[in-house]
Amino acid sequence: MATNSYFRNFDAKNDQELLHSIVTESIKVTGYDVNYIPRTLVNEDTILGEDSISEYKDAYSVEMFIKSVDGFEGEGDLVSKFGLEVRDQIIFSLSRQAWEGLDIGTRPKEGDLIYFGLTSKLFQIMFVEHELPFYQAGALPTFDLTCELFTYSDEALDTGIDTIDKIERQQSFVRTFELSGTSGTFTVGETVTGGTSAVTGEVARW
């Protein structure tokens, strides 16, 4: 026996396009504008898959739906031997149509960041689920992004959006140099090199 040939449950292109359009419009109505910030690897550890000096140079505005309707998930706030750790998690749903409109890859990637302006916080993508809802009408209309509160560790944030870039200036390692009165003027964010060891950094204040 075979399935009924009069019902095309998984290969009806018109139904799939309609589903994509409905999901995209629903997220536009009920979602939030966030900034998607892709990661650029600078010196990847191919064994551990980490990069302690990653760069985040661009930010793309896109609408996402918050699936965590009851608040932040995850392990919450923990007190460990390293002090207070905040392990808040949030799940965002991103329309595939909206993602394709960004033209920055085939799918969102773990390690990229999302700036959620409602809470003024950066979240790091920990896992990308691409099969929910599971082949509804034979299509996959969304990505579900499980994100965790981002722990800054001297990554370069140069997105051009001050509310994001100032996180680097506020939380990065700071060294103070005394300069002569004829050294000129500087602007916040300017890259300078100085000192006997030719240290390179960005101006936080002067």
Task: Please state, in angstroms and as integers, the Cα–Cα distance from residue 55 to each residue in 28, 42, 105, 180, following that order.
Answer: 29, 7, 17, 32
179 within 8 A of 203, measured Cβ to Cβ:
no
CA 201 to chain centre: 24
pTM, two decimals, is: 0.74
Q: How many CB atoms lie within 10 A of CB 58?
A: 16
* Pairing mode, strands 113-116 and 156-157: unpaired
CA 184 to chain centre: 37
Report pLDDT digits (tens) over 121-154. 899 999 998 887 777 767 788 899 999 888 888 7
* Pairing mode, strands 113-116 and 73-80: unpaired
Under the banding of pLDDT at 50, 70 and 90, the label for residue 169 is confident
Report pLDDT digits (tens) over 8-49. 767 777 877 888 888 899 999 999 999 999 988 776 666 666
Under the banding of pLDDT at 50, 70 and 90, the label for residue 197 is low
